Amino acid sequence: MLAVVSSIFGGIVALVGYQYFVKKNEFTSIESMQRASFANFSDTSAIAVPAGLNFIHAAELTTPAVVHIKTTYMPETTRPKTRDEELFRYFYGDPYENYNQPREASGSGVIVTGGGYIVTNNHVVDKASKIQVVLNDKRTYDAKLIGTDPTTDLALIKIEGENLPFVVYGNSDQVRIGEWVLAVGNPFNLTSTVTAGIISAKTRSINILRDKDNMAIESFLQTDAVVNPGNSGGALVNLRGELIGINTAIASPTGAYAGYSFAVPVSLVKKVIDDIMNYGQVQRGLLGVVIQDMTPALAKEKTIDFISGVYVSAVNQGSAADLGGIKEGDIVTKINDINIGATTQLQEVVARYRPGDKLKVKYVRKGKELETSVTLKNKLGDMAIVAKDDNSVKTKLGADLQPVSGGEMSVLEISGGAKVAKLFSGKLKEAGVREGFIITSIDKKPVSSPEDVVRILESTTNGGILMEGIYPNGKKEFYGIGW
């Protein structure tokens, strides 16, 4: 018995001694503890992510083609100083000494060709005196501004490079609400940042774009992927790594991300960028209608059955819609087989086309579905492509001139004229002319039609004209216009 006890005691002493003298000096790491605790789990690199949730492919495909854009701005004017400020500066130094110093800003851009064309936002590069592009691999280039379009907040710049990585266009029409997307950009100067989210809405308008001719197009893809200052101009891509939008704005009370961001859909981006590259400016084809979202309240007000579509509340005389037979009270339901459910969507779909393009329009009139073909016009009322350096009479005037109807001539007791159907930036707007004005004479030369206006002004060389006319309410007006 004594021998058994002695053996047990000896074993305990040996074990304790081993633990104390031998294992005391062993180094223990967190990693070894983790391996011991999770020995039955496979290596994480072999874990398969379910289809539709793996963002790695899209991120690796697009980050090399999303660039960091740095811009420099020179002050436009020198700030005037008062006498009191001059005295203050004399004794205490100039508190505005940095006022005339160059300012810097930054954003993102997306390479769309191997030759260096880059799409970004207009507000990223607008009025910049210098544009610098930093690639994902840190290579730096000076960029040239090719053109901008404030109405969609898009711009095209170019760097001199070859075989650059680029993002291929996807199809934003096929994007579905709930689909996973990635936002790639450079928020807060943090280069090559990727965030994930879903498409939470389409054809969204948030009324942030301002255009002096009221031609702005807002039909954003809305997503909850995190987007912050610096992401502007970056890529919104699907899980195949295809470009479906250009990140443009966020909805936030603070200026930082607060839940939603907005991207210009690539269906519009493609057309705008091609126009800038080929014509120097965007060629907008116009339908020539005033529209409203179709709602149950509007249907009740107009005593019509509610259907999904866009209500036509007015048609401009001589416009594409007018010539195509569309009338006030019609409800547009499809354009080129694309279902139309909101005014923003109609505007975006039409904006994909140029003057002279034909569209197939389906609409409902008094419960009956009809279809027509319309040929889009430019803002000047014809079907021509307008070059950037165009200096024609209509462009200088900035107006869509239309013939005067027989009814108007009878009521106003005039024999003819040229009606200002629509005003844009130009000489007429600068002079205070309003839409609806009927030009009856220029420098005492009678005007019977829009063609007379063009003929008379093409031969005018004296630097100024006197334009006479009448408004629909019978009030006669005279305008002196510099020419």
What are the pLDDT digits (tens) for 86-122?
555 555 555 555 556 778 889 999 999 999 999 999 9
CA 384 to chain centre: 24
Residue spans of the domains in the chain: they are 172-279, 289-375, 393-482
Fold of domain 393-482: Pdz3 Domain (2.30.42)
pLDDT > 50? residue 158: yes
pLDDT > 90? residue 462: no
Q: Which pTM was predicted?
A: 0.76
pLDDT confidence of 257, banded at 50, 70, 90? confident
Whose CA is closest to 101, among 84, 80, 79?
Answer: 79
- 21 class by beta-carbon count within 10 Å (0-12 exposed, 13-18 middle, 19+ buried): exposed
pLDDT confidence of 21, banded at 50, 70, 90? very low
Region 53-67: mean pLDDT is: 93
Active-site position among 232, 261, 267, 319: 232
Consecutive H or E run containing 394: helix 393-397
Active-site position among 123, 172, 219, 330: 123
Residue linked to tokens 């709602």: 295
Active site residue 57: no
Could you tell me the CA-to-CA distances from 280 to 149, 389, 391 in Å, in that order? 10, 9, 14
* Cβ atoms of residues 358 and 374 within 8 Å: yes
Query: Which of 253-257, 309-313, 381-385 has the highest average model confidence (pLDDT)?
Result: 309-313
In CATH terms, are 172-279 and 289-375 the same topology? no
Looking from the CA of 321 toward its CB, the CA atoms found within 13 Å total 24
**Is 318 annotated among the ligand-binding residues?**
no
User: Regarding predicted confidence, which is higher, 214 or 168?
Assistant: 168
Residue linked to tokens 């889009």: 376
pLDDT for the residue numbered 251: 81
Instruction: Please count the other Cβ atoms lying within 10 Å of the Cβ belonging to residue 100.
Output: 11
| Lowest pLDDT segment from 8-22, 43-57, 88-102, 238-252 | 8-22
Tell me the Cα Rg of the chain: 33
Fold of domain 172-279: Thrombin, subunit H (2.40.10)
pLDDT for the residue numbered 447: 96
pLDDT per position as a tens digit, 313-356: 999 989 999 999 999 999 999 999 999 999 999 999 999 999 99
pLDDT per position as a tens digit, 124-139: 999 999 999 999 999 9
What's the chain's average pLDDT? 86
Active-site position among 149, 153, 330, 400: 153
Label residue 381 left, alpha or beta by phi (over 0 means left) and psi (-120 to 50 means alpha).
left
pLDDT confidence of 34, banded at 50, 70, 90? very low
Joined together, the tokens standing for residue 477 give: 């007006």
Region 52-78: mean pLDDT is: 86
- Domain 289-375 part of CATH 2.30.42.10: yes
Active site residue 123: yes
Consecutive H or E run containing 104: strand 103-111
Q: What are phi and psi of 394, to 5 degrees?
A: -60, -40
pLDDT confidence of 478, banded at 50, 70, 90? very high
pLDDT for the residue numbered 38: 46
pLDDT per position as a tens digit, 385-436: 877 767 788 888 999 899 999 999 999 999 999 999 888 888 999 999 999 9
In angstroms, the CA 124 to CA 113 distance is 20
**Is 231 annotated among the ligand-binding residues?**
yes
pLDDT per position as a tens digit, 371-397: 999 999 998 888 988 777 677 888 889
- Single-letter amino acid code for the residue at 358: K
**Is 57 annotated among the ligand-binding residues?**
no
Region 228-236: mean pLDDT is: 94
pLDDT for the residue numbered 87: 54
Consecutive H or E run containing 269: helix 266-279
pLDDT for the residue numbered 250: 87
Active site residue 232: yes
